[in-house]
Structure 1
Amino acid sequence: MCQIFAGQDPGRYETVTRRLRLNGQSTSIRLERAFWNILDDIAAREGVSTPAFISRLHAEVLELHGEAPNFTSLLRCACTIHLGEDAQLAPAAIAAE
């Protein structure tokens, strides 16, 4: 069972730091490569760059909650939500064919 998880390419969970601007502030975010790939995909589906998507998400979090205490964790959770939605959409897309 764990072979699926333990046997994955270490490059998937290698941490990658990207520098970007969040609402005008220069910062850096460190995430595992797999999460960056998902964020890149979400941004592409939204028709924006990854930094623009992350900046928009950050602004919305600030508007809703007044702060973003652990923004990198929020990004990881956003990725899992995205993956769950993709899993729910896949059977519907197959049924439509």
Structure 2
Amino acid sequence: MCQIFAGQDPADYEPETRRMRLNGLSTSIRLERAFWQIVDEIAASEGLSTPGFVSRLHSEVLELRGEARNFTSLLRCACLVRVRHTLAPVEVIAAE
């Protein structure tokens, strides 16, 4: 089982920093490359550039929560939500 996890391409979990503007403020966000790939896919599916999507998400979080605590973790969790919603549901068979 661990080969699935341990055997990953190291490039996938290499950190990558991207500079962008969030609501007019210049900032940098550091995520692993695999997460950036998913963020790029989400942005494209929404018809936005990646900085445009990230900025919109940041604005919506501010509107809903009043702050964007640990925004990079929120981005990672957004990627998990995306993956969960795109995977077919797995039927769990209860042991008798």
TM-score, normalising length: structure 2: 0.91
1:59 is the counterpart of 2:51: no
Larger radius of gyration between Structure 1 and Structure 2: 2
Residue aligning to 1:4: 4
**Equivalent-residue separation in structure 1 for 2:87 and 2:55 (angstroms):** 26
Residue aligning to 1:17: 17
Residue aligning to 2:82: 82
1:73 is the counterpart of 2:57: no
> Please, which runs of 5 or more residues in structure 2 have no aligned partner?
90-96
The offset of 1:78, in angstroms, is: 0.2
Instruction: Note the aligned Cα RMSD (angstroms).
Output: 0.9
The offset of 1:88, in angstroms, is: 3.5
Residue aligning to 2:36: 36
1:45-80 Cα offsets, whole Å, 9 max, x none, are: 001100000000000000000001100000000000
> Please, which runs of 5 or more residues in structure 1 have no aligned partner?
90-97
* Runs of 4 or more consecutive aligned structure 1 residues displaced over 2 Å after TM superposition: none
Report the residue type matching 1:75 in the other structure. Answer: L
Report percent identity of matched pairs. Answer: 71
Q: Aligned residues, how many?
A: 89
1:16-65 Cα offsets, whole Å, 9 max, x none, are: 00000000000000000000000000000001100000000000000000
**Equivalent-residue separation in structure 2 for 1:76 and 1:32 (angstroms):** 9
Report the residue type matching 1:73 in the other structure. Answer: S
Report the residue type matching 2:68 in the other structure. Answer: A
